[in-house]
Chain A
Amino acid sequence: MSGVKTWLAGGVAWLIAIVNFFPIFWMLLASLKTEVEAVQTPPLFIFHPTLANYRDIFALQGYAGYAFNSIAISVLATLLMLLVAVPAAFAMAFYPGRYTRDILLWMLSTKMLPAVGVLVPIYLLSRDLGLLDTRTALVIIDFLSNLPIGVWMLFTFFRETPKDIIEASRIDGANVGQTILYVLLPLVAPGIASTALLSVILCWNEAFWSLNLTAHNAAPLTAFIASFSAPQGLFWARLSAASVLAIAPILAFGWISQRQLVRGLTFGAVK
């Protein structure tokens, strides 16, 4: 690649990075303004930042409670998903039957159920089971939503393991359990981590069911945001602060585990 081209490519890359980051950045700025400053025309780039909005949210609105719900739901749903998906993916990868491919496709197809379509039945079911506004309901729903992708991705990761190594461990004298524990799991651990990561992110960002099935007790951060859309209009500065607080944890989390995340996204999809 010629010098100018590389320079140009680099410039475009920078541009794209900026475009990507800008909306988040802008919201961050808005969260540090007062309500008046936030809606000023022309928009303010230079101003006196204030943490008043954040203080408000923590103090008055009970951010901690919502955050706790988000964390609890994401973690529990992910653990539950792994508990069910790992054995299933293992079975399908190493003991394929006649129907393995069909089962996989079917699991994928459950992903196609539009959420709104099952909203009514599930809403009514939750109400009848007394699960409205409980974390349990959301954990179950998130778990069900992410199970197909989880199984699919884990299945792909399990199949990646070279069969030589497994045979070697058999000859070395390991039974099935020991092979899984000492050889297989270390090999698939990155794959499991990637799948878990993806699940956590999906659960955290889940808005539809969170809004519809929860009120005060079990509402996670995504539902929390909705409470800022008052009929009088949107309180942008506060809303921005709340949004930042809602996405900051997951962005930080994702940044730290970026490599695993990318690996999970790409492997699960293609190979």
Chain B
Amino acid sequence: MTAVAIRGVRKLFGQIEVLHSVDVEIDDGDFVILVGPSGCGKTTLLRMIAGLEDVSHGEILIGGRRVNDIAPKARDVAMVFQNYALYPHMTVRQNMSFALRLARTARVEIDKRVERAAEILGLGQLLDRSPRQLSGGQRQRVAMGRALVRNPQVFLFDEPLSNLDAKLRVQMRAEIKELQQRLKTTTVYVTHDQIEAMTMADKIVIMRNGYVEQTGAPLDLYDHPANQFVAGFLGSPSMNFLDGEIAEGAMIAADGLRWPLPESFAAQPLSGRKVVYGIRPEHITITEAGIPARVQLVEPTGSETQVVLQASGSTLIAASRERIIAQPGTILHIMVDPARAHLFDPESGKRLAA
């Protein structure tokens, strides 16, 4: 069953169109992440699902029901805001029970749900504190608790981790994912961090400038990006790109170096075609013989070594699980795995299929 359906949705602020005919289908129980650079429209889309923004064109359905004209409170969604938006004059318990009190839920039921949520989120000790007395991470949990007690059809998260420090972020990432898997509630999550998207999502929706660039499972998008933008957005360090031309069964770069093509391309006569050649850092290996590249910088992260190289007029990053020791300025040889190379059309950015 489709929990949330976004069909042909466009959004205008005055004369400016910020979302151009967006279509997204979200299945029941899925963890879907809307990801993209600032200004791509992901937060606007989320707010439209919540009902905080109107839909200019198109429709949004929740649980099969069209909700365009339905007020937020009647949509059965709960939202966790980026800045938590806790009620400063209420205690944690009151914050969490506010919605239920408004709905005139029985006192017993309210207490039960609050206790349960507090237990899941580790807020038991903090129930009678006021938000002022809590740390950032604790406030974030209260915000989640507030959403949790409502047992909504859909959870909405608006960049909830961006105000936390790095370590806490990693921890919360896992907790949120775990929570969602346990509760199996449909979740729509907005972030600009592609790592969050990769690690947490069942399905990723990548957006840019109001368009959906690609939708799919994280690894699908990683291995088969639809265009250059998606290819460069997912993965850290990001994919390397080289300009060149196909000739003689290989990709000839600006300086004449030959880069190997995937088998399917090598067989075809695409001679003369200008392309952008993409290869991920982990698919570049440092070898004895191969394409020469000058070392610029060696960055060991502990678990892998990233080497910044200059080749064919571009800066490339190679990532290896082995420890590489090389002085800046020396020449190393690299080899790429041809099967992992991608070709993109220079003008449209679209990936070329074999």
Interface residue ranges, A against B (CB under 8 Å): 162, 164-165, 167-175, 178, 182-183, 186-187
Interface residue ranges, B against A (CB under 8 Å): 50-52, 71-73, 77-79, 81-89, 98-99, 102-103, 146, 150
Question: Is the beta-carbon distance between A187 and B73 smaller than 8 angstroms?
Answer: no
For B76, the closest partner residue in chain A by CB is A173
The residue among A171, A172, A173, A178 with the most chain B CB atoms within 10 A of its own CB is A171
Question: Is the beta-carbon distance between B73 and A183 smaller than 8 angstroms?
Answer: no
A162 touches which of B85, B89, B98 (Cβ 8 Å): B85
Question: Is the beta-carbon distance between B73 and A170 smaller than 8 angstroms?
Answer: yes
Chain B's nearest CB lies how many Å from the CB of A97? Answer: 15
**A-side contacts of B51, CB under 8 Å:** 170-171
**B-side contacts of A167, CB under 8 Å:** 52, 79, 81, 85
Complex CA distance for A174 and B51, rounded to whole angstroms: 13
Question: Is the beta-carbon distance between B87 and A183 smaller than 8 angstroms?
Answer: yes
Given contacts A167-B85, A174-B73, 14 further A-B contacts (CB under 8 A): A162-B83, A165-B87, A167-B79, A168-B81, A168-B85, A168-B86, A168-B146, A169-B87, A170-B72, A171-B50, A171-B99, A172-B102, A172-B146, A173-B102
Question: Is the beta-carbon distance between A174 and B102 smaller than 8 angstroms?
Answer: yes
A172 touches which of B73, B82, B88 (Cβ 8 Å): B73
Complex CA distance for A187 and B86, rounded to whole angstroms: 12
Interface of A is mostly: helix
Q: A171-B50, A183-B87 are in contact. Are A164 and B81 (CB under 8 A)?
A: yes
Chain B's nearest CB lies how many Å from the CB of A95? Answer: 15
**B-side contacts of A164, CB under 8 Å:** 81-85
**B-side contacts of A178, CB under 8 Å:** 102
B73 touches which of A162, A165, A175, A186 (Cβ 8 Å): A175
Complex CA distance for A169 and B146, rounded to whole angstroms: 11
Q: A170-B72, A171-B72 are in contact. Are A165 and B99 (CB under 8 A)?
A: no
For A182, the closest partner residue in chain B by CB is B98
Question: Is the beta-carbon distance between B99 and A172 smaller than 8 angstroms?
Answer: yes
For B99, the closest partner residue in chain A by CB is A172
Question: Is the beta-carbon distance between B89 and A171 smaller than 8 angstroms?
Answer: no
Complex CA distance for A90 and B233, rounded to whole angstroms: 44
Complex CA distance for A178 and B89, rounded to whole angstroms: 15
Question: Is the beta-carbon distance between A171 and B83 smaller than 8 angstroms?
Answer: no
Complex CA distance for A164 and B146, rounded to whole angstroms: 14
Complex CA distance for A187 and B87, rounded to whole angstroms: 9
Chain B's nearest CB lies how many Å from the CB of A98? Answer: 13
Complex CA distance for A168 and B71, rounded to whole angstroms: 13
Chain A's nearest CB lies how many Å from the CB of B158? Answer: 9
**B-side contacts of A162, CB under 8 Å:** 83, 85
- Smallest CB-CB A-B distances: 4 pairs: A164-B85, A172-B99, A173-B73, A168-B85
Question: Is the beta-carbon distance between B81 and A186 smaller than 8 angstroms?
Answer: no
The residue among B50, B102, B150 with the most chain A CB atoms within 10 A of its own CB is B102
**A-side contacts of B77, CB under 8 Å:** 171
A171 touches which of B79, B82, B87, B88 (Cβ 8 Å): B79
B85 touches which of A165, A174, A182 (Cβ 8 Å): A165
Chain B's nearest CB lies how many Å from the CB of A236? Answer: 51
**B-side contacts of A172, CB under 8 Å:** 73, 98-99, 102, 146, 150
The residue among A162, A167, A174, A186 with the most chain B CB atoms within 10 A of its own CB is A167
**B-side contacts of A173, CB under 8 Å:** 73, 99, 102-103
Complex CA distance for A187 and B90, rounded to whole angstroms: 11
Chain B's nearest CB lies how many Å from the CB of A125? Answer: 45
Complex CA distance for A99 and B73, rounded to whole angstroms: 31
Complex CA distance for A187 and B73, rounded to whole angstroms: 21
For A164, the closest partner residue in chain B by CB is B85
Complex CA distance for A164 and B71, rounded to whole angstroms: 17
**A-side contacts of B52, CB under 8 Å:** 167, 170-171
**A-side contacts of B103, CB under 8 Å:** 173
**B-side contacts of A169, CB under 8 Å:** 87, 98
Q: A172-B73, A172-B146, A173-B102 are in contact. Are A187 and B79 (CB under 8 A)?
A: no
Question: Is the beta-carbon distance between A171 and B78 smaller than 8 angstroms?
Answer: yes
**A-side contacts of B72, CB under 8 Å:** 170-171
**A-side contacts of B150, CB under 8 Å:** 172
**B-side contacts of A183, CB under 8 Å:** 87
A187 touches which of B83, B84, B89 (Cβ 8 Å): B89
Complex CA distance for A173 and B74, rounded to whole angstroms: 7
For B79, the closest partner residue in chain A by CB is A171
Complex CA distance for A162 and B84, rounded to whole angstroms: 11
For B88, the closest partner residue in chain A by CB is A187
Can you report 19 residue pairs joining A to B where beta carbons are below 8 Å apart?
A162-B83, A164-B81, A164-B83, A168-B79, A168-B81, A168-B85, A169-B87, A170-B52, A170-B71, A170-B73, A171-B52, A171-B99, A172-B73, A172-B99, A173-B103, A174-B102, A175-B73, A178-B102, A182-B98
